[in-house]
Amino acid sequence: MREAMQRLAAAKWKGLFAALFFGGMAAVGHEPFGLYTVSIVAFAMGLGLVLDAPSWKRAGVLGWMVGTGFFAVQWSWLVNPFLVDIKAHGWMAPFAVILLAGGMALYWGVASALAALVRPALRWVALPIALGLAEYVRAWAFTGFSWGGPGLIWIDTPVAQIAAWIGAYGLGWVTLFFAALIYVAIYSGWLRVGVVAAGVALAGFGFLADQRPLPPTTENVLRLVQPNAAQHLKWEPDWVMTFFERATALSSAPADGREPDLVVWPETSIPALQGQAPLLEERAFRSAAPAPLVAGIQRREGSTYRNSIVYYDAPGEPAWIYDKHHLVPFGEFVPFGNQLAKIGIRGLAQQSGYGFEEGDGPVIHQLPGTLGKALPLICYEAIFPRDIRGAKGRADMILQLTNDAWFGTFSGPQQHLVHARFRAIEFGLPLARAANTGISAMIDAKGNVTAALPLNEAGFLDADLPAPLPPTVYARIGDLPFIVALSALFAGLLAFARRKSVDPVAAPL
């Protein structure tokens, strides 16, 4: 088998297609499939091709193809936003997944090429380290796009709880290291023992992490409103008020048990610019009363538009406003937007010219009574751990308002929910999620979904608010120590690099 893998890695086209295939199969560990065992095996074979590459250039190309397959299958939902307005944006759909997947996979290609410079005996260690560092770069460079990642395949297993120590990115490195270990173990007796030991350690650590006891649920109830506004109808004049009336009716519906202490509407659920339709804002507040209301709205300051969250505890002006600060490139803003708009290139959700303007950053806001402090996030911001760590102080909960109608129904909303669950695990905080078309959910401090509304169903969810856990290790130290440790280790491996034409994995086996 090993000789066959070496031939396949060297075969010009067959090797590329094989790497693309293994990368694509690795993506089925993500929702909606959740086949993490298939993902691990596929990662092992894909990394094996890179390890068996005859040169560092070939290793880079194969690594790029593995990444392209992984991202393309995982991000197949990305065509949906471009189909909402087919006339304006439909032409972009064929390029959306291919270009983004191939572009992001370049980080994997560079990492694979660099790992191939390490001496053969240690190349299987260097490759997952390099790919792990590439994932950090992907999450930060050019505002970052950290959707997905190898570590997220563990969400419904105890292994996911390891993210409370090292975060989802660190768990991604652990995942790739385990996959590389499996590949080289096929050819080495002692490494087979190592695979068993690593597997036991991974499962054992996850099991121990999962034993953290959750504190009793608080006495507070949140009502999460899901009006189910299809994106292609959301801003149509004949439908705008229909969805608004639906939201107000859901807000004022009788409770099955305790009355809600807070009502939460999803992103852009008030269909007017803040301050320009005060009667609408007052109707929204009164539909939730006597509970206060948190709702998504757009607002304008001069020529600047913002995607915002408003909090009303009385009629009139909001008690506080949060402006989204981590905007979606080519969605909420376009670089050089005024110029590109002249040739028809506009952000999918932008208002005009440059699109939305970013807010000042993550901010923790006070809620009434025993609800405590909340960190509001809008949609895409929940995929970035740094958008939680960047806030001053510690919240008692995370509030995510989102409009996942952009993402279709197959995989996008499910994967977005997984990100929210990992943020809860990483920071030991409950997360309340109001989504326009779903999946609205209450998530406890260990990432468990305690209550949820399914996709494409109008309704409300009165859910008990879980209590927070003490700050996790990851909440206290973040990613930097792990990045420094991996970088130092990789630099040490490169220092012993040997540019010899040696079989990539023969020496240690």
> Would you state the pLDDT for residue 209?
86
In the block, residue with structure tokens 């020529």:
303
Confidence at 190, pLDDT banded by 50, 70, 90 = low
Q: Which of 324, 357, 381, 426 is catalytic?
A: 324
Q: Is 503 a residue whose pLDDT tops 80?
A: no
Q: Range with the lowest mean pLDDT among 163-172, 190-199, 289-298, 365-374? A: 190-199
Percentage with pLDDT > 70 across the chain: 90
Q: Is 334 a residue whose pLDDT tops 80?
A: no
What residues pair up with 295 in beta bridges, in sequence order?
A: 310
The number of angstroms, rounded, from the C-alpha of 45 to the middle of its chain's C-alpha atoms is: 25
Asked if 55 and 11 touch (Cβ cutoff 8 Å), the reply is no
Confidence at 459, pLDDT banded by 50, 70, 90 = very high
Q: Is 464 a residue whose pLDDT tops 70?
A: yes
Confidence at 329, pLDDT banded by 50, 70, 90 = confident
Integer Cα distance of 203 and 151 in angstroms: 14
Q: Is 112 a residue whose pLDDT tops 60?
A: yes
Active site residue 267: yes
Integer Cα distance of 454 and 420 in angstroms: 16
Q: Range with the lowest mean pLDDT among 2-6, 143-147, 311-315, 420-424? A: 2-6
Integer Cα distance of 66 and 49 in angstroms: 9
* In 90-188, alpha helices (H): 93-115, 123-140, 163-185
| pLDDT average, residue stretch 419-437 | 98
Percentage with pLDDT > 90 across the chain: 72
> Would you state the pLDDT for residue 232?
87
| pLDDT average, residue stretch 127-134 | 98
Q: Is 99 a residue whose pLDDT tops 60?
A: yes
| pLDDT average, residue stretch 156-161 | 96
Q: Is 509 a residue whose pLDDT tops 70?
A: no
Task: Please write the tens of the pLDDT for every residue from 466-487.
Answer: 999 999 999 999 999 999 999 9
> Would you state the pLDDT for residue 498?
55
Q: Which of 31, 267, 332, 357 is catalytic?
A: 267
Q: Which one has a higher pLDDT value, 497 or 156?
A: 156
What secondary structure does DSSP assign to 374-439, as a single string?
A: EEEEEGGGGG-THHHHTSSS--SEEEEEE-GGGGTTTTHHHHHHHHHHHHHHHHT--EEEEESSS-
> Would you state the pLDDT for residue 120?
87
Integer Cα distance of 212 and 225 in angstroms: 31
What 3-state DSSP class applies to 462? strand
Q: Which one has a higher pLDDT value, 503 or 218?
A: 218
Integer Cα distance of 24 and 28 in angstroms: 7
| pLDDT average, residue stretch 325-351 | 60
Integer Cα distance of 321 and 245 in angstroms: 23
Active site residue 135: no
Mean residue pLDDT across the chain: 90
> Would you state the pLDDT for residue 483?
96
> Would you state the pLDDT for residue 91?
63
Task: Please write the tens of the pLDDT for every residue from 221-260.
Answer: 999 999 999 988 999 999 999 999 999 999 999 998 899 9
> Would you state the pLDDT for residue 88?
58
Q: Which of 135, 379, 381, 426 is catalytic?
A: 379
| pLDDT average, residue stretch 111-131 | 95
Task: Please write the tens of the pLDDT for every residue from 262-318.
Answer: 999 999 999 999 999 999 999 999 999 999 999 999 999 888 899 999 999 999 999
Active site residue 373: no
Integer Cα distance of 310 and 297 in angstroms: 7
- Name the nearest CA neighbour of 65 among 2, 108, 25, 28: 108
Q: Range with the lowest mean pLDDT among 17-26, 77-86, 373-382? A: 77-86
Confidence at 179, pLDDT banded by 50, 70, 90 = very high
